[in-house]
Amino acid sequence: MGDEVALVTGAAQGLGRGFTEALLRRGAKVCVADVKVQTGEATVLRFQQQFGRDRVFFFKCDVTCEADVKAAVQATRDRFGKLTIMVNNAGISSEAQWSKMVDVNLKGVIDGTQEAVAVMRRDTGGQGGVVVNIASAAGLIPVHTTPVYAATKFGVVGFTRSWAANPHLASLGISFACICPTFTDTDMIVHGDFREGRSLYTEDSQRMMAEVGVMPLSQVVTAFEQLLDSPDNNGIVMSVTNIKGVRVRKHGRPSRL
């Protein structure tokens, strides 16, 4: 993977930071994009000390701002010459801020994907690659405690599968896949405060987390690497759970309605 170039959104901490470290270990060059400047710069400094200053850089990016996303993609190309892996990871969880959650979780993924496709597609001079969208198990099953969050993640899954079903992928040279983890040991989950509107029903949410369990971040990162290593990852919807581990659903082109 030494010649791969990746852009990871929401990469200052949590899963995004874990995906970035995995990519760097595999030899890729990475743009760490995040709205959290101080945290992002500190993360990149540690990575530069470990992997080299020429391998990773930070770019301030609010995924709800189309200009920011476009600029992050352009900055990655300017720095490394191309883009071959796009990881749309940025996300929030707050039913009290449902409109912002739609903007970050769904519109941010859509915009990131569209911008990546524009520069990666081989039929217009790009080198192809893969788009990995981070959804959630809440995008596969109903979740009454977080209906808007679930809606955004269902949207990410449907959006990704629809791109994967594109009959013109051979000319694009791009594959599309998504990962759907359950509760993971990140700041969003472990230190989240349900009393501040993350969930509609606090006790139900806490009970659900206790029943399902909280996975170590490394479990999702390992699944991410498994996805990258799959010889045919287009259309993969990968669920990662504490109970059943990694399960891969492969979706081909759907039949006509």
- Please identify which residue in the block is written with the tokens 């949590």: 14
- Identify whether 256 is part of a domain: no
Q: How confident is the model at residue 111 (pLDDT cuts 50, 70, 90)?
A: very high
CA atoms within 13 A on the CB side of 171: 6
**Does a structural domain hold residue 257?**
no
What is the number of domains present in the chain?
1
Token pair, residue 93, equals: 């969880």
Structure tokens at 3: 């010649």
Tell me the pLDDT band of 92, cut-offs 50, 70 and 90: very high
- Whether residue 18 lies inside any domain: the answer is yes
For the domain that residue 132 is a member of, what is the CATH number? 3.40.50.720
Residue 49, judged by CB atoms within 10 A of its CB (0-12, 13-18, 19+), counts as exposed
Tell whether 172 is covered by a domain: yes
Q: In the predicted model, what is the mean pLDDT of residues 233-243?
A: 90
Q: What span, in angstroms and rounded, lies between the C-alpha atoms of 70 and 75?
A: 9
Catalytic residue among 51, 80, 149, 183: 149
CA separation, residue 183 to residues 99, 187, 251 (Å): 22, 11, 24
201 belongs to the catalytic site:
no
37 in a domain, yes or no? yes
Q: Is 255 part of any domain?
A: no
Give a yes or no: residue 63 inside a domain.
yes
- Give a yes or no: residue 131 inside a domain: yes
Q: Which domain holds residue 43?
A: 5-250
> Does residue 204 register a pLDDT over 90?
no
The average confidence (pLDDT) of the chain is 91
> Residue 249: pLDDT band by 50, 70, 90 thresholds?
confident
Q: Which pTM was predicted?
A: 0.92
